[in-house]
Amino acid sequence: MERAMIKTLLTVISLAAASFPAWAQSGAPFEEGKHYFTIEQPEGYRPIDGVKVTEVFSYLCSHCASFEPYIENWHAKQPESVQFDRIPVEFGRAIWSLYARAYVTASVLGIENASHKAMMDIIWKDKRQMRNMDELAEFYSQFGVDAEKFVATSKSFAVDMRMKREQQQVRQAGVSGTPSMLVNGKYRVSAGGAVSGFDQMLAVVDYLVAQEMATESVAQVATPAQ
């Protein structure tokens, strides 16, 4: 029985290694504390199966706007086992907080994905900013949500609690700039320093996702069903 389990475990490890990108098979190309950082006492939801990747962003961050085509292309290539979401950060700025609340409201109403690119475009291509929730509600009304309902939802307990929880997660993760990426709530990756640009930033994310996938596969084999 033990031999069979060990054989199965080795098979899983071999398959996981074979599925890694070429750079991940030549040792550890990225270093903890240099290319990515481990989050102490991580908070936030983790999926039961697979890996969760979170982009920490702001609509008013020019670097986030530049990052958008990179993250869209990356997201389109991910398997179902990689879950992706976004957290809009406030950083103590009133206008950033306004847009963060608008994004969370859109998410609660189920229109965040449909409206995300349009919001980026209206700010950075059309050079138009909305200065209050009423103006933002008018923007979001084109996605099938009544403006009055949007404003009311933005003041709801559900939105308040989610914003508090997510901002706590951002602080706990040590995020100090945007865009940043969180992998399974355990690791933080940002462009800058040893990470030269958005392509390498996402390569580091892929590396960490592969590590988490392999760890999960090994754990499932090592802990047989009761």
Check whether 96 has a pLDDT greater than 70: yes
- Please give the model's pTM, rounded to 2 decimal places: 0.83
pLDDT at 119 over 50: yes
- State the average pLDDT over residues 55-80: 98
Kindly state the average pLDDT of the residues 214-218: 69
Residue 23's pLDDT band (cuts 50, 70, 90): very low
Give the pLDDT band of residue 27 (cuts 50, 70, 90).
low
Residue 4: what pLDDT?
A: 47
pLDDT at residue number 47: 66
Select the more confidently predicted residue: 9 or 178.
Answer: 178
Domains of the chain: 2-222 (3.40.30.10)
DSSP collapsed to 3 states, 34-57: CCEEECCCCCCCCCCCCEEEEEEE
Q: How many angstroms separate the CA atoms of 46 and 174, rounded?
A: 18
The verdict on whether omega for the bond into residue 21 sits within 30 degrees of 0, i.e. cis, is no
